[in-house]
């Protein structure tokens, strides 16, 4: 959500002593404090739920001074996971330990770095009703603590406490904690339900209250959801400790800000076992490479010539490289012909890593490259850029992005959400799998890198 927030000014009638917040969320940036939800004025009273830079969740209140109520010991740092969060406050409960509760994926949190009990029958700061501002994707106490991940099915319940089983349940077949799309709840005066499933109206309130919300900022719609988690770049698996790699847009855009040696970052879904497809766009100063690399190779500050045996790479200008015994060999120069892949181009990558297959194709703006024997066609299996003969078929590989040494660049990935950064695709290609939205045709038999794609 980057610089996006969804807001509503509350009316009188709020129950000042009770509320429940339930939401599904997927982390983006993991090294800054980001607000998930908040309510209040920010000058005299407020309550906020924050995803902390260390990976914990916290609930903070402000009534003239900051009073952290809790911060979890548990770290929530999996960029591939959708988390289900339920917070509730009930100051009327006679048991002090039951007045403030938090659950993650249906399990109640009981270990906290900070935990302050709430006074019996006290009013919740920031939850008084008339004139208070509710924010989703930001917090009240710090106006620029925007959430840079993804959200879905946000419930705010005014005046009633609900257990997490109201909003989600365990799937009887898979055992996975899954969403209840239409829970039976009473929302109260200022309660709301934002499904965020209408890509043209993300702030639509589906509760009976039908409140009017205002969305500001540069947020984008996404097909990524709790039932189908899509691949992203991986902020945990990043070899740049200096902060010169900046991820945004839910970890789908990477801005390299320093002319340094090549740095690398991985992706959250590995290709092994999948016939997959994704796209990436050269947004600015394109000088990078996309690699298929043995998962046992540690990412570091290194040039492609130093990569381990069995890696293959597509360089921006359209050259193809393969590492054999630690030495990079050129397979096909100018794979796309002159001028290679330029700024503004969209590169598509199709790969068949099913079974013992290890075949990869690239296209530039919809036209597949020539490997020296013919123009590639992943739908028929013809003329891949890289073939199974070059890779160890028993190894597991991952996809790596690396900026070349001495460069700054911005690259935006579309793993199926239909956007390159904040720019929507201009025309949707065909996609028989029905999973994701891409600029160009998804080859026959191929699918998006997502949890549903893995099961195809």
Give, for 179, the enclosing helix (H) or strand (E). strand 177-179
Please say if the pLDDT value at position 303 is more than 60. no
* pLDDT tens digit sequence for 46-70: 899 999 988 999 998 888 777 878 9
pLDDT at position 443 is: 97
The three-class DSSP label of residue 453 is helix
User: What is the mean predicted confidence (pLDDT) over 4-20?
Assistant: 90
pLDDT at position 387 is: 82
Give, for 454, the enclosing helix (H) or strand (E). helix 451-454
Please say if the pLDDT value at position 185 is more than 70. yes
Give, for 451, the enclosing helix (H) or strand (E). helix 451-454
> Locate tokens 């009316």: which residue?
11
Mean pLDDT of the chain: 86
Query: Which backbone phi and psi does 451 adopt, to 5 degrees?
Result: -65, -35
pLDDT at position 286 is: 67
pLDDT at position 260 is: 59
Are residues 385 and 362 in contact, defined by beta-carbon separation less than 8 angstroms? yes
The three-class DSSP label of residue 175 is coil
From the number of C-beta atoms within 10 Å of its C-beta (0-12, 13-18, 19+), residue 178 rates as middle
The three-class DSSP label of residue 210 is coil
pTM of the model: 0.90
pLDDT at position 365 is: 94
Maximum CA extent, the chain: 78
pLDDT at position 189 is: 93
The three-class DSSP label of residue 440 is coil
DSSP 141: S
- Dump the DSSP string for 103-138: EETTEE---EEEE-PPPTTPPPTT-S-TT-EEEESS
Length in residues, the chain = 456
- Tell me the pLDDT band of 332, cut-offs 50, 70 and 90: low
> Locate tokens 């709020």: which residue?
14
Please compute, for residue 107, the number of CA atoms within 13 A of its CA located in the half-sphere on the CB side: 9
pLDDT at position 62 is: 86
Q: In angstroms, rounded to a whole number, what is the distance separating the alpha carbons of residues 19 and 12?
A: 15
* pLDDT tens digit sequence for 223-280: 899 999 999 999 888 776 567 778 888 899 988 887 655 677 889 999 988 999 999 9
* Closest residue by Cα to residue 134 from 19, 47, 18: 47
* pLDDT tens digit sequence for 212-225: 999 988 778 888 99
Domains of the chain plus CATH, in order, are 5-216 (2.60.120.200), 233-454 (2.60.120.920)
Please compute, for residue 347, the number of CA atoms within 13 A of its CA located in the half-sphere on the CB side: 27
Dihedral of the CA atoms 333, 336, 342, 348 (nearest 10)?
A: -120
pLDDT at position 304 is: 45
pLDDT at position 178 is: 94
* Closest residue by Cα to residue 313 from 404, 420, 413: 404
- Dump the DSSP string for 154-172: EEEEES----GGGTEEE-T
Please say if the pLDDT value at position 309 is more than 60. no
- Tell me the pLDDT band of 326, cut-offs 50, 70 and 90: very low
Strand partners of residue 155: 22, 193
Query: Which backbone phi and psi does 176 adopt, to 5 degrees?
Result: -85, 140
> How far is residue 351 from each of residues 51, 384, 398, 441, 447, measured CA to CA in Å?
36, 9, 12, 14, 10
């Amino acid at each position: 959500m980057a610089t996006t927030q969804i807001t509503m000014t509350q009316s009188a009638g709020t129950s000042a002593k009770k509320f429940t917040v339930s939401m599904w969320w997927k982390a983006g940036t993991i090294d800054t404090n980001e607000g998930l939800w908040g309510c209040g004025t920010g000058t005299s009273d407020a309550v906020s739920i924050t995803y902390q830079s260390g990976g914990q969740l916290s609930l903070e209140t402000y009534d003239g001074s900051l009073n952290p109520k809790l911060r979890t010991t548990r770290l929530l740092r999996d960029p591939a996971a959708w988390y289900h969060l339920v917070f509730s406050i009930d100051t009327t409960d006679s048991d002090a330990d039951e007045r403030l509760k938090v659950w993650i994926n249906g399990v109640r949190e009981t270990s906290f770095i900070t935990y302050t009990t709430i006074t019996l029958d006290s009013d919740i700061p920031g939850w008084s009703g008339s004139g208070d501002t509710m924010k989703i994707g930001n917090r009240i106490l710090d106006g620029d603590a925007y959430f840079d991940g993804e959200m879905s099915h946000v419930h705010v319940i005014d005046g009633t406490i609900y257990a997490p089983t109201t909003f989600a349940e365990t799937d009887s077949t898979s055992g996975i904690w899954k969403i209840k799309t239409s829970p039976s709840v009473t929302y109260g005066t200022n309660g709301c339900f934002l499904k965020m499933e209408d890509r043209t109206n993300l702030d639509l309130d589906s509760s009976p209250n039908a409140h009017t919300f205002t969305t500001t900022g540069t947020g984008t719609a996404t097909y990524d959801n709790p039932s189908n988690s899509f691949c992203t770049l991986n902020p945990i698996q990043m070899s740049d400790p200096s902060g010169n790699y900046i991820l945004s847009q839910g970890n789908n855009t990477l801005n390299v800000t320093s002319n340094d040696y090549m740095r690398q970052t991985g992706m959250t879904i590995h290709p092994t076992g999948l016939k997959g497809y994704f796209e990436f766009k050269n947004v600015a100063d394109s000088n990078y490479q996309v690699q298929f690399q043995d998962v046992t190779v540690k990412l570091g500050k290194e040039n492609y010539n130093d990569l381990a045996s069995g890696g293959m790479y597509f360089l921006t200008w359209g050259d193809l490289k393969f590492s054999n015994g630690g030495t990079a060999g050129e397979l096909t120069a100018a794979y796309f012909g002159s001028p290679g892949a330029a700024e503004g181009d969209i590169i598509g990558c199709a790969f068949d890593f099913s079974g013992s297959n290890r075949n990869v194709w690239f296209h530039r703006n919809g036209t597949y490259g020539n490997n020296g024997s013919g123009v590639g066609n992943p739908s028929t299996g013809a003329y891949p850029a890289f073939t199974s003969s070059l890779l160890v078929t028993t190894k597991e590989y991952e996809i790596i992005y690396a900026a070349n040494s001495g460069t700054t660049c911005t690259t935006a990935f579309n793993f199926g959400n239909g956007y390159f950064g904040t720019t929507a695709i201009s025309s949707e290609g065909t996609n028989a799998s029905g999973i994701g939205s891409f600029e160009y045709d998804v080859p026959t038999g191929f699918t998006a890198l997502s949890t549903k794609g893995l099961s195809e």
